[in-house]
Amino acid sequence: MAASSEDTTDANNITNTDDYLTYVDGVGNIPRDIYKHVKSDPLGDLPRYSIHIVIQHFATFLTFLILAATGLTLHFSSLWWAPYVMSLFGGPDTARFIHRISAIFMVIASAYHLLTIVGGTFQKIMKKQFDFKRTQIPWVKDAQDIVHDVKYFTGREPYRPKMHKFMYKQKLHYIAIIWGTFVLVTAGTTLLYPETMSTIWPNPEFFQDLARLMHADEAVMAITVIVFWHWTNVHLVPGRFPLQWSFLTGKITREHQIEEHFLEYINNLKEFPEEREYIKKILREKGLDTH
């Protein structure tokens, strides 16, 4: 079998012997398809997100739904369905008020997320525990993983790539959310406070028209991405359907992590002695113990 192109993940503990086996000190050689042999709790086995991320995700999810329902109804008020939806919110004035309050909460959730990311990163740097490979920062390996994954899904590779805590799809989702939030907040603020924003923009009339266009179009795009890309990839794909519980429990199932985030599972083996003992037991039971 061809030698792996990946660098050694941890020189003291892990050696990538080839594409199929990954040697972990104190455990042995772990096959790439070991996820087929493990047992998992649908609610999750291993840590994925902190309580802060769970709260932020739920707040963003809830406010996004309210913003989409009220905003699109107001924007497309001339369409046949709009009056029926508008009546659920108590009329256009109430819908407008709910939309603005929800926007404030979304901005707060975004600020909370930013503080968590910056503060958590600073704390890890101070403790010398920061590892950019466990973050959403894109790097060269993500491009390599895309090529590898395409080959896997077209039958040209036997196994999926060994990916970190956040794979390339999740990083693309994250970048899309950052961009979408920036556009929606900037355009919404311009529409809500035209006089104040006119002192900032060089051509107030042009930017008012642009904000009106961007706010609606970005909202439609965001809804399309969330419903047809994000929800599908997270909840509706085989092995995750009908629901992946990570967004509520902060945990990920063992087989999911091994399949799509193999290198993060290796990190967990170093961090959790009980997980090392579990996987050693599986290797023995399945006759895969090559330590």
Number of neighbouring beta carbons within 10 Å of residue 209: 11
Please give the Cα distance from 2 to 75 (Å, whole number).
56
pLDDT at 290: 56
Asked whether 171 and 136 are in contact (CB, 8 A), the reply is yes
The rounded average pLDDT for each run of 10 residues, N- to C-terminus, in the chain (291 residues) is 40 56 91 93 95 96 95 93 94 96 96 96 94 94 97 94 96 93 95 92 91 93 89 87 93 96 96 95 84 54
User: Could you please report the per-residue DSSP string of 101-123?
Assistant: HHHHHHHHHHHHHHHHHHHHHHH
pLDDT digits (tens, 9 = 90+) for 93-108: 999 999 999 999 999 9
SS percent in the chain: helix, strand, coil, step 5? 65, 5, 30
pLDDT at 238: 84
pLDDT at 8: 41
pLDDT at 18: 66
